[in-house]
C-alpha cells in the first residue's frame, strides 16, 4: 500500500511539475515550438531571441538544423533546400561563412572556405561528372 501511494504521489508530482514547466509550446528552460502566420516552424531554444540548437522549417520545404545566436543561423548547421541542395558547415549572421560543404542537387560539390555566402579561400570543387578543381577561390570564382 505504501509503495502504491508513493507511486501515485510521484506520478502526480512529475505530471504537475512538467506541466508547470511547459505551456503553449514554451518551456521555462527556453525550449519551445513556434509557428508564424506564414507557416515557418521553429523548434529550439528561444527566450528573447533564438540561441543554441534549433530547427527551422519553411513552408516550401527548406530546413535549417543547427546553432543559433541572436535570432540568426550562427555556428555549425545544415541547410537543406527544397530543390535538393544541401550546405553543411559554419554560419555567421545567417550567411555561409567559414568551413563548409555545399552539394548541389545535380551532384556538383564544393568543400572549403566560405566568406559572405561565396566560396572564398582554399577549397575543392568536384563536378557531377568527376572533374575536380582544387585551389584558391575568390568571391565565388575559381582562381587560376
The pLDDT of residue 116 is above 60: yes
Q: How confident is the model at residue 113 (pLDDT cuts 50, 70, 90)?
A: very high
The reported pTM is 0.79
The pLDDT of residue 14 is above 50: no
In the chain, what are the domains? 27-142 (2.20.110.10)
Give the range among 25-29, 92-96, 107-111 with minimum mean pLDDT. 25-29
DSSP symbols for the chain:
-HHHHHHHHHHHHHHHHHHHHEETTEETTSEEEEE-TTS-EEEEEESSSEEEEEEEE-TTS-EEEEEEETTEEEEEEEEE-TTS-EEEEEEETTEEEEEEEEE-TTS-EEEEEEETTEEEEEEEEE-TTS-EEEEEEETTEE--
Amino acid at each position: 500500500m505504501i509503495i502504491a501511494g508513493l507511486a501515485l504521489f510521484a506520478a502526480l508530482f512529475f505530471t504537475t511539475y512538467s506541466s508547470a514547466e511547459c505551456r503553449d509550446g514554451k518551456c521555462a528552460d527556453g525550449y519551445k515550438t513556434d509557428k508564424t502566420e506564414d507557416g515557418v516552424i521553429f523548434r529550439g531554444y528561444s527566450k528573447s531571441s533564438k540561441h543554441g540548437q534549433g530547427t527551422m522549417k519553411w513552408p516550401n520545404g527548406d530546413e535549417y538544423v543547427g546553432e543559433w545566436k541572436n535570432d540568426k543561423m550562427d555556428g555549425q548547421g545544415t541547410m537543406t533546400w527544397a530543390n535538393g541542395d544541401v550546405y553543411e558547415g559554419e554560419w555567421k549572421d545567417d550567411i555561409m561563412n567559414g568551413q563548409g560543404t555545399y552539394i548541389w542537387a545535380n551532384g556538383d560539390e564544393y568543400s572549403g572556405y566560405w566568406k559572405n555566402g561565396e566560396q572564398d579561400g582554399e577549397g575543392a570543387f568536384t563536378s557531377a561528372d568527376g572533374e575536380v578543381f582544387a585551389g584558391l577561390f575568390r568571391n565565388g570564382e575559381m582562381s587560376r
